[in-house]
Amino acid sequence: MTRVGYQGEPGAFSEEAVVTLFAAGDAGAVEPVPCRTFRDVFDGVEQGTLAFGVVPLENSQGGSIAETYDLLLRESVSIVGEVVVRVDQALLGLEGSTLDGIRRVWSHPQALAQCEEFLARLGADVVPMYDTAGAAKRVAEEGRADQAAVAAERAAAVYGLQVLASRIQTHGDNQTRFAAIAATPTAPLGPPEKTSIVFGVRHVPGALVRALSTFAFRGLNLAKIESRPLGDRPWEYRFYVDVEAGMDDPLLADAVEELEREGRSITVLGSYPRWRWASEDAG
């Protein structure tokens, strides 16, 4: 049984991401392992107690997960896959609870932000927690009819709660993209079609344009670009890019070599298959 770590409690969207991703690959039967924090997931992968970890990268409404991007700079892990999960948030409460009676709502800050309009109309106090399913667990354990959680409907079944309202997110097509990480750049999920890279540039005019031109001149499409502060040098940044090519593509290998020759700090975070919905494969 392959142990795969995720942040949160059973019933979390991250657990769904584990099951969805590895059902589509060749890693065999998996055991989803709940972890308290993202750092715990990375630690488990580095130390060998987890074969893989699955961590969120970005939400289509709430944006990027900054902590994940910062943790990916650890040189001892590689991205080996990605999965996109449709996120339908629900309001969960005790059996017999009513919307009018809810005075406090718990959930992860991202989930609360995704449901901001609904929660504003509800008029309850919102309290952030480390995990959506953890919020559902808390509501069940405390047993108060005036409390509710924003979480997946599947968490209601796990913790014996009632669905008070479904699909409460502000934007109906709400999706989260997750990355699978491993201690070695293995390929259990298929051949590489996408590569995540992080690089730095000198703090001079045109430096970023010249770096990005390295990909553009070779016809390499960037699916995403993200900036994060360096931390030790205020107002300077590192840049994360997702390139729609595997590292086995000579054009991408040549682009990376050119960036290295020009003295830019560059790290390949991983090369992995692009996530495809079942409808894409059928087409």
Q: Where are the domains of the chain?
A: 2-86+174-182, 90-165, 194-279
Determine the length of the chain.
Answer: 283
pLDDT digits (tens, 9 = 90+) for 245-273: 999 999 999 999 999 887 678 999 999 99
Do 118 and 216 touch, CB atoms closer than 8 A?
A: no
- Enter the tokens of residue 71: 């943790």
Q: What is the largest CA-CA distance in the chain?
A: 66
The CATH fold assigned to 2-86+174-182 is D-Maltodextrin-Binding Protein; domain 2 (3.40.190)
- When pLDDT is cut at 50, 70 and 90, the band that residue 234 belongs to is confident
Arithmetic mean of pLDDT, 18-36: 82
- When pLDDT is cut at 50, 70 and 90, the band that residue 202 belongs to is confident
Q: For residue 20, indicate whether it is catalytic.
A: no
CA distance 209 to 134: 43
- When pLDDT is cut at 50, 70 and 90, the band that residue 55 belongs to is very high
CA distance 76 to 95: 46
CA distance 210 to 213: 5
Q: Which of 13, 38, 178, 239 is catalytic?
A: 178
Q: Which of 68, 132, 176, 214 is catalytic?
A: 176
pLDDT averaged over the chain?
A: 91
- Enter the tokens of residue 69: 């991007």
Q: Which residues contact 76 (CB under 8 A, 6 or more apart)?
A: 46, 183
Q: For residue 214, indicate whether it is catalytic.
A: no
The CATH fold assigned to 90-165 is D-Maltodextrin-Binding Protein; domain 2 (3.40.190)
Asked if the domains 2-86+174-182 and 194-279 are classified in one and the same CATH topology, the answer is no
CA distance 270 to 195: 6
The structure's pTM equals: 0.88
CATH 3.30.70.260 fits 194-279, yes or no: yes
